[in-house]
Amino acid sequence: MSETKPSAFSSSLSSSIQKQRSYSSNSLLLSLNPKPKPMARLVVARALPFSARLRLPPPTISAAHRCYSPYGEPSSSPHHSALSRSVLGQSPILRRGIHVSPGYSRQLPWTGYFMTTVRAFRLLRRRNGAAKKPPPPPPPPKEKEIELCLKIRLDDGLPNDRDVLNIAEMLKLNGPMAMKLAFDGISTSPATGDRSFTVTDVVKYEKVELSLVLCNDEYIRRINNEWRGEDHATDVLSVSHHTPDLDIPILLLGEVVISVETAARQAEEKGHTLLDEVRILLVHGLLRVLGFNHEASDKAKKEMEAEEKDILNTLGWKGNGLIKSPNDSLISDEQVSKDEVKKTKCLRFYRPKFSYIFCDMDGTLLNSKSQITKTTAEALKEAASRGVKIVIATGKTRPAAISALSKVGLAGKGGVVSNSSHGVFLQGLLVYGMQGREIYRRNLDLGVCREAFTYSMKNKVPLIAFCQDRCLTLFEHPSVDCLHTIYHEPKAEIIPSIEGLLTTAEIQKLIFLDTAEGVASTLRPFWEEATDGRAGVVQAVPDMLEIVPPETSKGKGVKMLLDHLGVSSKEVMAIGDGENDVEMLELASLGVALANGSEKAKSVANVIGSTNDEDGAAKAIYEYAF
């Protein structure tokens, strides 16, 4: 049979089918551009196996109605071609991009539609069934959180000491943990009838507060008298503020008062640090606030003792508690290091009894080698840190005092003496007030000075003229050099002419240098008679004789400075050793003469301390100043 050429109708049909393929292809690309949904992929995967199994023969088409299809194979009549176009456009398999062999066109059997629909229905049913499952049970409610707060206050009577501040900061951090452990102990142990009360309804509050006051002995003595009617100091006091029927969100437990002064003494006696002792007292006071009472009975005492020990051990704090500690021996060396014990012994939290301490230098602050020891320097620093004003009252020049104290860090800004600090120098002949300004000066009679230098030149006895911050002399001598190298005075300027020396500067005092025997047997008797009321004769050290204006004394210089500062002598403690310190010791509220001092000084002093070589000044400060 000859092949029939394509007619115009078949060309039109081919073009129509070609357009239909082009439209279907464009629709597929658009549908593939977006990300396919997981459900659609699952349906296609389920449908593919069933579509692959359909192997139906091609339909019988009459040759008379055969035409060329766009796939290059003869097709059926135009009516069948229209049906084919309908199938091509409606088949879900073709719409999903499934390839059909181009050899023939056939319609998808009804079973393909059915199986795909059943799969989709099952999946949809499973999804709907899963959505209908009951929701998971809600998580258990969280336990109510309660804020525990320890408020710490430092009494004004306590000095602004860094060690006290550090202790307060540490208690602020771990004090609330002690509160928590105390509450846990109450909840786990049944209350005894010996407790004053028991705080058991903590959970209804949002916040629990405990007040802690760190104070000195005077403050706690006053509180002890008000609360308990006992007029004496103690280590710790506590009072409860808890009111069970009060409907407020904050539980005010009460107040614990600790005397740092007493705690420091107890820490030194027990051999542990001040921090350890304050922690023990805090735990004791906390339990008292919560209703524990060790004084009620032996059973209550054992109960509170066990609670104290448990809290301290749980927190890793040293000690077994305040109730147990009186029966304990000193803490072993394994529990506390020697450095900690040494530091504790240096802590002095005693309230100062005096606002000012006037100190002599030669024979008092300085030892027999004219040096200040480390112990004495620490005592002066301790007093200064407690707010006590240390004032130098000496026969030396101000540069000499600065030189001696600078070796231990007590000179200059923030030190005991400087060019801007007040002080009494040259036996009270030079007095410096606020900001180191000169408020008083007295000069020696010029005639006495001329006679003294004439005597020095004739007898070859060294004589030094003190002119404010300068030292002048007629000739060189080993004793003159010692005045500079040993006694810290400015190096003497040599002026060989008496008249030239007298016109160089105003002279406040003169010092003859000789042996102790020479001063006692020759110089002193001679000049006491020669001055004849025009000058006075005093001694600070055995081998020096001082010639000063009449009625000169440190006491007058100290009194002038106190009036300038507006300070009463009742606020003053004085420490000295020589006869030039007598008036100063009499003026002060407490006068301390060292054992190495003169008999005149010791006769007027209130207290006689140790020698200057035994740190007598330091011991006096620790014992009497605080």
Same domain, 205 and 302: yes
Same domain, 455 and 541: yes
**Lowest mean pLDDT: which of 87-101, 378-392, 425-439, 596-610?**
87-101
pLDDT at 405 over 70: yes
Rounded CA gap, 30 and 25, in Å?
Answer: 9
> Do residues 340 and 267 touch, judged by C-beta distance below 8 A?
no
Residue 620 lies in a domain: yes
Phi and psi based region of residue 363 (left: phi greater than 0; alpha: psi -120 to 50; beta: remaining) = left
* Position 517, amino acid: E
Question: Exposed, middle or buried: residue 398 (CB in 10 Å: 0-12, 13-18, 19+)?
Answer: buried
pLDDT tens digit sequence for 188-224: 665 555 555 566 666 677 788 899 999 988 899 899 9
DSSP 3-state assignment of 382? Answer: helix
Rounded CA gap, 208 and 253, in Å?
Answer: 7
**Lowest mean pLDDT: which of 85-89, 129-133, 390-394?**
85-89
Q: How confident is the model at residue 258 (pLDDT cuts 50, 70, 90)?
A: very high
Rounded CA gap, 67 and 105, in Å?
Answer: 13
pLDDT tens digit sequence for 308-342: 998 999 998 988 777 765 544 333 333 334 444 44
Q: How confident is the model at residue 79 (pLDDT cuts 50, 70, 90)?
A: very low
- Label the pairing between strands 250-259 and 236-240: antiparallel
Same domain, 461 and 526: yes
Q: How confident is the model at residue 40 (pLDDT cuts 50, 70, 90)?
A: low
Q: How confident is the model at residue 605 (pLDDT cuts 50, 70, 90)?
A: very high
364: tokens are: 């008092």
Rounded CA gap, 357 and 390, in Å?
Answer: 5
Residue 253 lies in a domain: yes
The per-residue pLDDT for 264 is 87
Rounded CA gap, 289 and 179, in Å?
Answer: 11
Share of the chain above pLDDT 70, in %: 70
The per-residue pLDDT for 243 is 72
pTM: 0.52
pLDDT at 451 over 60: yes
Rounded CA gap, 551 and 13, in Å?
Answer: 145
pLDDT at 169 over 80: yes
Same domain, 481 and 540: yes
Residue 134 lies in a domain: no
Reference 511, options 492, 533, 534, 486; nearest CA is: 492
Same domain, 367 and 507: no
Rounded CA gap, 274 and 350, in Å?
Answer: 13
* Higher pLDDT among residues 140 and 46, named by residue: 140
Residue 81 lies in a domain: yes
pLDDT at 78 over 50: no
Residue 1 lies in a domain: no
CATH number at residue 308: 3.40.390.30
Q: How confident is the model at residue 133 (pLDDT cuts 50, 70, 90)?
A: low
The per-residue pLDDT for 250 is 80
> Do residues 448 and 550 touch, judged by C-beta distance below 8 A?
no
CATH number at residue 475: 3.30.1240.10
**Lowest mean pLDDT: which of 89-98, 179-188, 231-240, 364-373?**
89-98
Same domain, 237 and 284: yes
C-alpha distances out from residue 534 to 445, 449, 511, Å: 7, 11, 16
CA dihedral 586, 592, 594, 599 (to 10 degrees): 30
Average predicted confidence (pLDDT) for the chain:
78
Residue 335: DSSP 8-state: T
* Higher pLDDT among residues 595 and 61, named by residue: 595
> Do residues 354 and 589 touch, judged by C-beta distance below 8 A?
yes
Same domain, 294 and 177: yes
Same domain, 238 and 266: yes
Mean pLDDT of 447-452: 96
Q: Supply the range of the domain harboring residue 300.
A: 147-346
Mean pLDDT of 343-360: 70
Rounded CA gap, 286 and 281, in Å?
Answer: 9
Q: How confident is the model at residue 566 (pLDDT cuts 50, 70, 90)?
A: very high
Same domain, 537 and 580: no
Given 346, 367, 396, which residue is the final one in a domain? 346
Given 284, 313, 346, which residue is the final one in a domain? 346
Rounded CA gap, 622 and 626, in Å?
Answer: 6
> Do residues 336 and 276 touch, judged by C-beta distance below 8 A?
yes
CA dihedral 597, 602, 603, 604 (to 10 degrees): 110
> Do residues 348 and 260 touch, judged by C-beta distance below 8 A?
no
Q: Give the number of domains in the chain.
A: 4
pLDDT at 472 over 50: yes
Neighbours of 262 (CB within 10 A): 21
Residue 256 lies in a domain: yes
Mean pLDDT of 170-174: 89
> Do residues 501 and 495 touch, judged by C-beta distance below 8 A?
yes
pLDDT at 39 over 60: no
Given 494, 514, 548, which residue is the final one in a domain? 548
pLDDT at 418 over 50: yes
pLDDT at 411 over 90: yes
* Higher pLDDT among residues 297 and 624, named by residue: 624
Same domain, 436 and 452: no
Q: How confident is the model at residue 610 (pLDDT cuts 50, 70, 90)?
A: very high
Phi and psi based region of residue 255 (left: phi greater than 0; alpha: psi -120 to 50; beta: remaining) = beta
Which range scores top for mean pLDDT: 128-137, 236-245, 410-419?
Answer: 410-419
Rounded CA gap, 111 and 107, in Å?
Answer: 11
* Higher pLDDT among residues 29 and 108, named by residue: 108
Mean pLDDT of 143-168: 82
CATH number at residue 604: 3.40.50.1000
Contacts of 505 (CB under 8 A, 6+ apart): 465, 467, 468, 470, 472
The per-residue pLDDT for 87 is 44
Same domain, 90 and 210: no
DSSP 3-state assignment of 207? Answer: strand
The per-residue pLDDT for 563 is 96
Residue 135 lies in a domain: no
The per-residue pLDDT for 162 is 76
Mean pLDDT of 385-403: 93
Residue 139 lies in a domain: no
Same domain, 311 and 374: no
Adjacency order of strands within the sheet including 607-609: 389-392, 356-359, 572-576, 590-594, 607-609
